[in-house]
Amino acid sequence: VGYNVAILGATGAVGTRLIQQLEQSNVPVKSIKLLASTRSAGKTLQFKQKDIVVEATTPESFDGIDLVLASGGGSVSKKFAPEAVKRGAVVVDNSSFWRMNDQVPLVVPEVNEDALYQHHGIIANPNCSTIQMVVALAPIKQQFGLKRVIVSTYQAASGAGQTAWQELMTQSQAYINGEEMTADILPVKGDKQHYPLAFNLLPQIDVFEDYGYTHEEWKMIHETKKIMFGDKNTKAIKVTATAVRVPVPIGHGETVYFETESGTQATAAGIQKALATADGVVLQDDPAHQVYPQPINAEGKRETFVGRVRPDVENDDSFHMWVVSDNLLKGAAWNTVQIAERLVALNLVRVPKDASALFPTEA
């Protein structure tokens, strides 16, 4: 017994971690297929110490596959997720393409695992910044309610992919050598201007959209509402975000201001207690001993780290906290493999009959 699994985008920053996380998971893997673009076809990667040759992705790549873990970007998932579903595979997708589709559950297992029961073949993995924030907010919401969230992010270069991460390293070296820094990717691949990230901060993640907010900021707003309240446009909670790229290789940081329901008597100590026992959370909050989460310590870990929990001294029922996680693991590869583990445990690795009509293939 076991599943025939394909990893789509296996050569990327997230894809290589999908391989590792799957190796360490309890998903029974009968066979593994590693898929990427034609550029990587023929390259060899390992799964459980066995050499696996990377294949170029075609619709037929998904024949006989039960489960696809995808991280090849939006246009790749747009095209290939329906092809996989059509062939009977369940797709857990890291790209943003399917996240807001009403037929696609957007899942963080610690927060809304039950949404998995509603899947029709595609399950979306949320944006990295959203995942770590909702993991920290869920136990607070459960005990004290949640009315409002204002978040500012400090996002690592690897969130923009392997090439952006490499660009930061090359720029850093150039800066230290006293040479000119070049920029071809960040802040956004394909946008008109490019700026160096090394020794700098870039207050633009993804393209600008309505009201001067970036696409990343809108993602955090809509995804938080969909995951925590089941409705991407709900007015039950107010969310706003500012997303900033920082010259850190791995690990996103976030300052989160939040307002609890009045009358629930939330205190910083009560919130710390709720966080200390929450699934997937590690409380690192001891200012007297200078203990607080840092990206450098979160790298390679599956958990979300929370510290600096304190009241807002001017507003009732309001608090601040600092949240850090490995954007490539809980923010991407681990959350995806964790969803796969839950699908297996709940016997949900199966595509319902209506799926192909909901997700038609292109031409």
The nearest distance, CB 336 to ligand A2P, in angstroms, is 13
Reply yes or no on whether 128 is catalytic.
yes
Q: Which listed residue (119, 120, 128, 222) is catalytic?
A: 128
Does 109 engage in binding with ligand A2P (CB under 6 A)? no
Q: Give whichever of 40 and 338 is closer to ligand A2P, judged by the CB atom.
A: 40
- Report how far apart the first and last C-alpha atoms of the chain are (Å, whole number): 35
Does 166 engage in binding with ligand A2P (CB under 6 A)? no
Q: Give whichever of 30 and 39 is closer to ligand A2P, judged by the CB atom.
A: 39
The nearest distance, CB 19 to ligand A2P, in angstroms, is 11
Contact region with ligand A2P (CB under 6 A), list: 8-16, 97-105, 141-149, 251-259: 8-16
Distance of CA 180 to the CA centre of its chain: 33
Q: Calculate the CA dihedral of residues 187, 304, 9, 160 and round it to 10 degrees.
A: 0
| Alpha-carbon gap, residue 217 to 150, rounded angstroms | 11
The nearest distance, CB 41 to ligand A2P, in angstroms, is 8
Does 9 engage in binding with ligand A2P (CB under 6 A)? yes
Peptide bond into 139 cis (omega under 30): no
Q: Give whichever of 72 and 105 is closer to ligand A2P, judged by the CB atom.
A: 72
| Alpha-carbon gap, residue 89 to 306, rounded angstroms | 36
Name the closest residue to ligand A2P (Cβ): 12
Does 77 engage in binding with ligand A2P (CB under 6 A)? no
Does 67 engage in binding with ligand A2P (CB under 6 A)? no
Q: Of 52, 55, 57, 258, which lies in the binding site for ligand A2P, with binding defined by CB under 6 A?
A: 57
What is the secondary structure of 203-220 as a DSSP string? ---S-B-GGG-BHHHHHH
Q: Give whichever of 36 and 228 is closer to ligand A2P, judged by the CB atom.
A: 36
Question: Which residues ranging from 12 to 41 are in contact with ligand A2P (CB under 6 A)?
Answer: 12-13, 15, 36-37, 39-40
| Alpha-carbon gap, residue 97 to 295, rounded angstroms | 27
Give the position of tokens 């900021």. Answer: 217
Does 161 engage in binding with ligand A2P (CB under 6 A)? yes
The nearest distance, CB 13 to ligand A2P, in angstroms, is 4
CA dihedral sign of residues 231, 262, 254, 270: negative
Reply yes or no on whether 252 is catalytic.
yes
Q: Give whichever of 54 and 104 is closer to ligand A2P, judged by the CB atom.
A: 54
Residues in the chain: 363
Q: Which listed residue (119, 120, 222, 252) is catalytic?
A: 252
Burial annotation 325-357 (CB, 10 A radius, 16+ → b, else e) = bbbbbbbbbbbbbbbbbbbbeeeebebeeebbe
| Alpha-carbon gap, residue 245 to 189, rounded angstroms | 14
Catalytic residues: 128, 252
Interacting residues with ligand A2P (CB under 6 A): 9-13, 15, 36-37, 39-40, 57, 72-73, 76, 161-163
